[in-house]
Each structure stands twice: as C-alpha cells, then as structure tokens.
C-alpha cells in the first residue's frame, strides 16, 4: 500500500471565496504514484469547506447568497461564539452546510470524477493563511 500527503495553502483577499482546486488535487494524485485508491481532501480549518459541485459563476453566487441567508454574518452579536472576540460565528455554520471534506476515488491514476464534478475550497473566514490536506492511499 502506498500513501501520500500534501498540503494546499490559501490566503484569500476577501472574507468569502470559492476556489476550484481540482487540478491541484490531481497533481497530488499524480505525485503519489497511486493508480487505484482513495483521495481524501479536507479543510484543516473549521471555518472553511471542501465540496464538489459545478464551476459556474452564477451557481457560486447563488450558494453564497443562500449560505448568507441560512447563517448571516451580521449582526455578529447573533452568535454566542462571537463573544470570544471572534466575528466568524457565521463561518462555522456555513461550513457545516457545505461540508468539511470529500473522498474521491482514484482509478487508473486519475481522480474518478463525473463530467461536471469539480473540487472546491470554500473560504468563509479568509484574509489569512489557511490550508487543505490531501491524503491518498492505494496502490
């Protein structure tokens, strides 16, 4: 059994941002030398998500509006968590909707994705250095 570990680092300019990381994850798969296996991709921070959906700008804006409706950033006093001095209570909620991680099959050395499946890093509390873990096991 082979295993491979890589970190992907991000520092967004805005609080919220949605970044297509499919090519970077495929790069990790290629580096791993694994032909058949599983690839785990997870946010290492608790105010960010890794999810799979379409790379379509209208949809991404729809998601952003919807998440803001389900868990608004303001008023920051809405969240007990913000009494700790944070202002990211909303980000902890948005991340639960979109999820922490995806597990993707590796087949013939490639991410085994459907036609429109793209892997995204969703940042909900950005403007600082944060990272994603890629862990690959297989043969």
CB of 13 to a second copy, least distance (A): 22
Quote the distance between the C-alpha of residue 6 and its chain's center: 14
* Block residue for tokens 């297509």: 20
24 binds a second copy (CB under 8 A): no
10-18, 24-32, 65-73 -> range binding a second copy (CB under 8 A): 65-73
Question: d(Cα 48, Cα 130) in Å, to the nearest integer?
Answer: 9
**DSSP string covering 59-88, please?**
HHHHHHHHHHHHS-S-SGGG-GGGGGT-S-
Strands 17-20, 37-43: parallel, antiparallel or unpaired by DSSP? unpaired
Window 67-96: residues binding a second copy (CB under 8 A): 70-71, 79-84, 89, 92-93, 95-96
Using rule CB under 8 A, residue 22 touches a second copy: no
Q: Does 1 bind a second copy (CB under 8 A)?
A: yes
Does the footprint of a second copy cover residue 38 (CB under 8 A)? yes
30 binds a second copy (CB under 8 A): no
Q: Is residue 11 within the footprint of a second copy (CB under 8 A)?
A: no
């Amino acid at each position: 059994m082979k295993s491979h570990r890589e970190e992907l680092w991000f520092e967004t300019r805005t609080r919220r941002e949605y970044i297509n990381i499919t090519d970077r994850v495929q790069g990790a798969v290629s580096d791993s030398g694994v032909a058949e296996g599983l690839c785990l991709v997870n946010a290492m921070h608790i105010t960010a998500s890794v999810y799979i959906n379409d790379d379509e700008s209208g949809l991404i804006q729809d998601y952003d509006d919807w998440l803001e409706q389900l868990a608004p950033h303001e008023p920051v006093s809405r969240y007990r968590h913000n009494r700790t001095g944070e202002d990211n209570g909303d980000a902890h909620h948005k991340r639960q909707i979109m999820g922490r991680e995806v597990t993707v099959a590796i087949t013939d050395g490639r991410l085994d994705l459907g036609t429109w499946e793209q892997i995204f890093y969703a940042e909900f509390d950005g403007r600082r250095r944060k990272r994603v873990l890629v862990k690959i096991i297989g043969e």
